[in-house]
């Protein structure tokens, strides 16, 4: 693990050196944003595949409803028929989870890198880097103790909070408009059976974006930059990929 973290620290440092002529003292912060963009580009084909799968699942809903009606008294037969339908249409019920799962290691790598005082037995030089005076290894409570909310460091976090709030508001407003235009039918699981509470959860999902504010406040600034960048990317990506899709599919996808 130590060797792996050293290699990752070297990667971040190399990206920072590459960007230094353009961003000067903020080059490491810019490197984190670039790293996040590269991760999202790598995952984008899976996001496109997930969108295609979600649209396909939406198109299958009338057939699934018929199967549920036909085999309602035989859950085992109904489940088999629905799974066969998914297989015939080459639709995976779990494809939408992959993009989010594959991004998690990158977040935890940054979190660990900027939470460790030493890497490979050597002092972690990246902790001395900052963004407009706010240390990349620091947290919001550190900024509050160093000039307060409206101090130099506090303004960095206020800027990140503003971006997260704008993105969350965009996600919430978009989903509410879709819900108004396309009332949602009861949610069903991969086996076609109604999932208790999923209808209510789908309505609450857009609010989950606002909880990103808590994440940004408690993790190291470097990890917060990753979160803000990937959250913004997700909002734009989903708005594009799901632009022609009814809310029955996209409401749940918005939270990933």
Distance CA(236)–CA(14), nearest Å, equals 28
- Is 235's pLDDT higher than 80? yes
**Between 14 and 204, the higher pLDDT residue:** 14
Give the Cα-Cα-Cα angle 220, 221, 226 (nearest 5 degrees).
100
Q: How confident is the model at residue 253 (pLDDT cuts 50, 70, 90)?
A: very low
Using a 10 angstrom Cβ sphere, with 0-12 exposed, 13-18 middle and 19 or more buried, the burial of residue 43 is buried
Bridge partner list, 130: 135
Cα Dmax for the chain = 69
What integer pLDDT is reported at residue 121 of this predicted model? 78
pLDDT in tens, 22-68: 999 999 999 999 999 999 999 898 888 878 777 776 777 777 777 77
* Rounded average pLDDT over 6-24: 92
Mean pLDDT, the chain, whole residue set: 79
**Most confident of the following: 1-5, 38-42, 156-160:** 156-160
Residue 134 backbone phi and psi in degrees, to 5:
-95, 115
What integer pLDDT is reported at residue 192 of this predicted model? 44
| Long-range CB pairs of 116-119, under 8 A, 24+ apart, other chains included | 116/5, 119/2, 119/5, 119/6, 119/9
pLDDT in tens, 217-234: 999 999 999 999 999 999
């Amino acid at each position: 693990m130590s060797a792996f973290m050293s290699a990752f620290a070297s990667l971040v440092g190399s990206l920072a050196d590459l960007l230094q002529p353009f961003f000067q003292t903020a080059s490491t912060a810019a490197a984190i944003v670039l790293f996040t963009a590269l991760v999202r580009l790598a995952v984008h084909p899976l996001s496109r595949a997930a969108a295609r799968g979600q649209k396909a699942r939406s198109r299958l809903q009338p057939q699934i409803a018929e199967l549920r009606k036909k085999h309602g008294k035989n859950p085992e037969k109904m489940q088999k028929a629905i799974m066969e339908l998914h297989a015939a249409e080459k639709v995976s019920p779990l494809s939408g989870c992959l993009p989010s799962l594959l991004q998690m290691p990158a977040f935890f790598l940054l979190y660990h890198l900027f939470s460790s005082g030493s890497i490979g037995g050597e002092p972690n030089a990246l902790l001395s880097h900052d963004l407009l005076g706010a240390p990349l290894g620091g947290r919001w409570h550190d900024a509050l103790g160093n000039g307060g909310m409206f101090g130099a460091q506090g303004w960095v976090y206020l800027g990140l909070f503003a971006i997260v709030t704008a993105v969350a508001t965009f996600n919430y407003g978009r989903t509410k408009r879709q819900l108004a235009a396309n009332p949602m039918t009861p949610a069903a699981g991969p086996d076609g059976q109604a999932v208790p509470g999923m209808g209510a959860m789908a309505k609450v999902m857009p609010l989950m974006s606002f909880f990103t504010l808590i994440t940004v406040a408690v993790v190291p600034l470097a990890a917060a930059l990753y979160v803000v960048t990937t959250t913004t990317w997700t909002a734009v990506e989903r708005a594009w990929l799901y632009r022609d899709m009814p809310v029955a599919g996209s409401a749940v996808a918005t939270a990933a």
